[in-house]
Amino acid sequence: MSQLEIKDLHVSIEDKEILKGLSLTLKQGEIHAIMGPNGTGKSTLAYTLMGHPNYTVTSGEVLLDGENVLEMEPDERSRAGVFLAFQYPVAIPGVTVANFLRSAVNSRRRAENPEDKGMPIPEFRKMLKEKMDALKMDHNFAGRYLNDGFSGGEKKRAEILQMATLKPRFAILDETDSGLDIDALRIVSEGVNALSGPELGVLVITHYQRLLNYIKPQFVHVMMGGRIVESGGPELALHLEEHGYDWLREKADEAAA
């Protein structure tokens, strides 16, 4: 069983420290949720794990089965099995969903074997249709330009389809519920749940309990001031929904001191 270990991670952006000693271990088969107010560093954690160049790691480690993730380029992290679903996916006019996904799959295959000529088109089409059927997606979706003119829900479903196609070991969902109405949230959550299992660890980053009504975490963590200040089970998210974050601010201040 693979595991992703974050150890005492300190991260800065433009010389301002955002993460201030964050530690977390995520194992395959587990679903963890990170909650917290705006500006606490939740998205900073997501982008740092995938190697965004604007975020500087000043100390700490991120280990994937003992291998230092921080020494890898973003594409190497992806091939190692780490996936990020963006809060605001970018549109790529002129590139269909199917072509984008086939390029991603073939790029990964060629990285593992430079002699690989790529997945044959009939094989890829069969695989893509199977993934779309599992996610209850219309096959016409594959012929549309990636995220171009997509609704918020369609963009997030495209991210989940990418996750299904690339089959990562660990998926980071950065505020996947952002901008979704209840129906879209339910559909996207059903897609995540369809992919969950013993070979996938999921880190859900969210502000709100409502997403966790659909994606059920075993572990919930609260971030404040660039650190995890409280951890618990699903009941912690319900407590936050009822009482907010004020009761944790004193604990966060004590940790900072």
Kindly list the domain boundaries of the chain, sorted by start residue.
3-92+169-256
At the topology level, CATH places domain 3-92+169-256 in Rossmann fold (3.40.50)
- C-alpha 188/C-alpha 153 separation (Å) is 7
Token pair for 24:
């977390």
Q: What is the three-class DSSP state of 166?
A: helix
Average pLDDT of 168-182? 87
Contacts with 213 (C-beta within 8 Å, 6 or more apart), sequence order: none
Average pLDDT of 196-213? 90
Q: What is the pLDDT of residue 255?
A: 61
- C-alpha 235/C-alpha 127 separation (Å) is 38
Q: What is the three-class DSSP state of 102?
A: helix
Name the H helices within the chain.
42-50, 74-80, 97-112, 121-134, 152-166, 182-195, 209-212, 234-243, 246-256
pTM for the complete prediction? 0.90
Q: What is the pLDDT of residue 87?
A: 82
Residue 199 has pLDDT above 90, yes or no: yes
Q: What is the pLDDT of residue 181?
A: 82
Q: What is the three-class DSSP state of 141?
A: helix
Closest C-alpha among 152, 214, 154 to residue 180: 152
Judge contact between 193 and 159, C-beta under 8 A.
no
Q: What is the pLDDT of residue 257?
A: 59
Distance of CA 2 to the CA centre of its chain: 16
> What one-letter code names the amino acid at 194?
A
- C-alpha 98/C-alpha 146 separation (Å) is 9
Q: What is the pLDDT of residue 64?
A: 96
Q: What is the three-class DSSP state of 151?
A: coil
At which residue do the structure tokens 């000693």 appear?
Answer: 21
Closest C-alpha among 190, 181, 185 to residue 161: 190
Judge contact between 221 and 207, C-beta under 8 A.
no
Condensed to tens digits (0 to 9), the pLDDT of residues 16-69 reads: 999 999 999 999 999 999 999 888 899 999 999 999 999 999 999 999 999 999
Q: What is the pLDDT of residue 7?
A: 97
- C-alpha 153/C-alpha 99 separation (Å) is 21
Order of strands, sheet of 170-174, starting from the edge strand that comes earlier in the sequence: 82-85, 170-174, 201-205, 31-35, 219-224, 227-232
- C-alpha 60/C-alpha 22 separation (Å) is 9
Q: What is the pLDDT of residue 256?
A: 62
Q: What is the DSSP letter of 40?
A: S
Higher pLDDT, 99 or 257: 99
Average pLDDT, the chain: 91
- C-alpha 244/C-alpha 231 separation (Å) is 15
Which pLDDT band holds residue 105 (cuts at 50, 70, 90)? very high
